[in-house]
């Protein structure tokens, strides 16, 4: 931060400057000012306008003001703070996307369509020829019970970068809405050029061992869709940039593959 010049003969005197780093808060620079008499009010107003935290102790003989800046606001280089979360997610899927049902569609299209028509016509079970196929019978019975979808447990990788409010760009702004393979995802989130603190090895191990689950077709692509980042003001004139990668079988007709 450039030194603040206050009109008048009694200028604030910088008596101490301290730099602290916290892995959860980043770099904080603390400056202490003193002034003969009550002559720090102008500095206090300037700091308030810049949303800089301070503690002002005015006194007719000697006044003191202590203020704290996020790193770059005081001329110290940016040190982003990275937080990684691998969260469980519940994805609602159509019953017809079950591998067994999808195989029925691929291997016996006529029976699949017959079951589909029987469901639409609200036929009774004894009115339908299931050809001894257990999947066809289960599909019919589930639809009769109103069970047309199911929940599939999957994952969301969430990353939050905490930076000062003068920070310019972030990898969160690139690749939005693209589908990453697991390998492409890991190349991005473990790259030391993108993050000061890349994703931990424990999370990498877990992601590498998530089983692939999706219907055996050519229309979907199993991978991680990168969502647009969210930015929120945080304490200390800083910004939280949150990015999520969602794991699922995504339509290649709708989404592009990286």
- Chain centroid to Cα 8, Å, comes to 49
Task: Answer whether 223's CB lies under 8 Å from 257's CB.
Answer: yes
pLDDT of 227 reads 96
pLDDT of 166 reads 79
Beta strands in the chain (DSSP E): 13-22, 26-36, 53-57, 62-70, 81-94, 149-164, 179-180, 220-226, 230-234, 238-251
Average pLDDT over residues 39-53: 90
pLDDT of 75 reads 73
Least confident of 64-73, 115-124, 147-156, 161-170: 161-170
Q: What digits encode the pLDDT tens for the residues 1-32?
A: 444 444 444 678 999 999 888 777 778 889 99
Phi then psi for residue 208, to 5 deg, are -65, -25
Average pLDDT over residues 117-141: 94
How does 165-187 read in b/e, with b if 16+ C-beta sit within 10 Å?
eebeebbbeebeebbbebebbbe
Q: How far is CA 122 from CA 128, 129, 140, in A?
A: 11, 14, 10
d(CA 222, CA 130): 32
* Percent residues over pLDDT 70 in the chain: 94
How does 77-88 read in b/e, with b if 16+ C-beta sit within 10 Å?
eebbbbebebee
| Cβ atoms within 10 Å of 116's Cβ, excluding its own | 15
Q: Residues 6 or more apart from 238 whose CB is under 8 A from it?
A: 26, 70, 162, 163, 164, 165
Least confident of 41-55, 101-115, 165-179, 188-202: 165-179
- Any idea where the domains of the chain sit in the sequence? 13-74, 81-92+151-251, 93-149
Residue, of 212 and 178, whose pLDDT is higher: 178
Altogether, the residues listed in the chain come to a count of 258
SS3 162: strand
């Amino acid at each position: 931060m450039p030194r603040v010049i206050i009109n008048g003969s009694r200028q604030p005197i910088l008596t101490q400057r301290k730099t602290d780093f916290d892995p959860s808060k980043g770099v904080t620079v603390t400056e202490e000012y003193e002034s003969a008499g009550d002559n720090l009010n102008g500095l206090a107003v300037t700091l308030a306008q810049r949303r800089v935290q301070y503690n002002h102790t005015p006194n007719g003989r000697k006044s003191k003001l202590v203020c704290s800046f996020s790193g770059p606001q005081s001329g110290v280089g940016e040190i982003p703070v990275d937080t990684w979360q691998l969260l469980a997610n519940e994805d609602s899927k159509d019953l017809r996307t079950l591998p067994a049902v999808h195989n029925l569609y691929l291997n016996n299209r006529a029976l699949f369509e017959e079951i589909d028509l029987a469901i639409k016509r609200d036929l009774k079970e004894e009115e339908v020829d299931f050809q001894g196929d257990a999947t066809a019978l289960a599909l019919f019975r589930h639809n009769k019970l109103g069970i047309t979808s199911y929940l599939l447990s999957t994952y969301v990788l969430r990353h939050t970068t905490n930076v000062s409010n003068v920070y310019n760009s972030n990898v969160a702004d690139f690749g939005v809405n693209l589908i990453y393979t697991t390998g492409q995802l890991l190349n991005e989130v473990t790259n030391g050029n993108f993050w000061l603190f890349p994703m931990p090895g424990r999370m990498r191990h877990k992601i590498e061992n998530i089983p692939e689950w999706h219907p055996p077709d050519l229309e979907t692509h199993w991978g991680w869709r990168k969502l647009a980042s969210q930015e929120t003001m945080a304490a200390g004139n800083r910004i939280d940039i949150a990015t999520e990668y969602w794991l699922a079988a995504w339509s290649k007709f709708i989404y592009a593959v990286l």
